[in-house]
Amino acid sequence: MSAKVGVVTFPGTLDDQDARRAVRLAGATPVQLWHQDADLHEVDAIVLAGGFSYGDYLRCGAIARFAPVMESIVEAAGRGMPVLGICNGFQVLTEAHLLDGALMRNEHKKFICRDQVLRVENNHTAWTSEFIEGEEILIPLKNGEGNFRADPHTVERLEGEGQVVFRYAGPLGNPNGSLNDIAGITNAKGNVVGLMPHPEHAVEPGFGPTPGSHNRAGTDGLKFFTSAINAVLV
């Protein structure tokens, strides 16, 4: 039996095709979910892909949060369905209050695009079980508003309860000024994860990050999707 992973397309989404390809390479069946359709078509997991939903008007993710598909996703996430938000998808998840905090303009006020080292802080979520806690992975990053912010109490809780999933690491360090070098977080249940870097761009040798000491094949991103598939097939 093949798992079905839905990938949401909003107006302005850029990476939905890449995400569906990643799902296919991981061994699941990708299902396109349209923003105006509240029907999730019996998928087992959901990916909110990167881009500029609704042109980032008003605020990144703020309009997408009210799309009909999001009402169904919020309900499904509450039941425990795995949901992954990548870049703009992460922003949408914070706007929908499925994840804490907010993503603001990069500290240096510039768009940044590079291969980014991440350190895995939590491998007990639906999207990270294939990783080893403490390992460093290489994932492409491209954002202008990836600066994670939250009030001190929220940050303390996220840190204390192990809800920080990834931190920026490596020689280049923090690319956008995020508090505590936070690159990705999870909800308390561990089924909803958001991160700024793009794992769907690191799923096949020769088409991902430049091979190096952290990742010889450039395929660290594939483990996000195989983790979720294993979670829903258990």
The enclosing H or E element of 45 equals strand 45-48
Structure tokens at 122: 């939590």
Catalytic residue among 35, 60, 145, 198: 198
Q: Are 183 and 195 in contact (CB under 8 A)?
A: yes
Catalytic residue flag (residue 60): no
CB 106 within 8 A of CB 144: yes
Closest CA to 51 of 7, 100, 97, 102: 7
Annotated active-site residue 87? The verdict is yes
Buried/exposed 72-96: b ≥16 CB within 10 Å, e otherwise: bbbebbeeebbbbbbbbbbbbbbbb
Rounded Cα–Cα distance for residues 224 and 94 (Å): 20
Catalytic residue flag (residue 113): no
Q: Which of 35, 60, 87, 121 is catalytic?
A: 87
Catalytic residue among 95, 121, 145, 200: 200
Active site residues: 87, 198, 200
